[in-house]
Structure 1
């Protein structure tokens, strides 16, 4: 009732914007709902047509087939370790680098910051051969370090944290210095807690990117025990998966995307707060 009253009390422009947002939200949810419903349909029925997607029969066989796969939980653990390690490492390095660029003075700071930003213009595919050769020489393939370390060079993370640190008044640092606080103590206990919204946003995007990454894990992890979930799921598909196993394919998509959705639910308020704060600044 309160929501209806709020909608009536809005201006005509606000109503149009809200209606447009609702239309876009529904348009975004329709493909997601379609994938979820298809994941519960028997593959034998989907081979002929998807017209009966809203009608029985439904089955859990596609999900039981995923769980029955011998390596699926190993792949899930690998993805959690890789995505979690990459997220933590990115947050630590980006926060330290961002604080250094925003709060300290050192020779060549501006030039170095420009070089970091140039990393945003270099696609991963451009360095994939050199990266593969480097980790081959170090004999690090088929291990967690090889899957995690390349993702720690996060130019966007450094840029985001630098801009966020710059938006925090320097008076806070100066007040802490008057109390004889060290530079690291100011960073760790005074300034860093103020950047939690930005860190949550960066963490979500980093985790999502690492979780969905397919190219580098496909190249670096050649042993099934080291497959991430994306590579492992792809390895179970047949050449005719899209025609003979469409329900199983959709169940894989739901299974792989569920952990990311859960993580987003826990941190969505920080993302909204960070976006709102950026808009105000």
Structure 2
């Protein structure tokens, strides 16, 4: 089922990521009073948890630079409640998908994908997956497009919680995970945007730590051990995600992988990145 987990990830992640790639979710959150990208990001993504301390959000989100979360949490809750933020985020994401997909937004493919992804999300194990569990406690929308976005978000955060577990199990901290992902994508670490908050000295310290562990060579690239470790982390992430999809029959998986890709291509084509 690991291959299925990777195959389906490529379908539900673009649906979820309109939350970060489209204008409509930001506009809905800005209408609540949020200014700047990061306050609305931390408010909307952590809202299922309720008003928890910054330390909790930092632990769950895992790979933000020191101080990034605390700059926004808990002050974002002086602007709006988690309930209001969740509603605004969903409205914005559904509006974005409807804008991108046009008439396809009401197609039978959307309704069927929403049904199957929801089935998978509610078959996925909760153990050790705090953000996913918080999302699972929320009501499931009835409208098919909203239901599809909600299910895609559930599956994305289920996978994300598992990915964090895979990183922790391999003693990779948050900033190290960014460096290894940059190299995995054939980028230099300084070109990887999520490392921007680090100073040159801080980034050098992270890279030196990976070098001393034999994961990065003298030229700043992967050693064989480093590449193997990063590949193994991805494989473990797939393995931890896979139980969600054992409830789907081969025919249902084929439905998703045959019918959804044309719609996903439209969503990906609309992304600014």
Between structures 1 and 2, the one with greater helix share = 1
Larger Rg: 1
What TM-score do the two structures reach when normalised by structure 2? Answer: 0.27
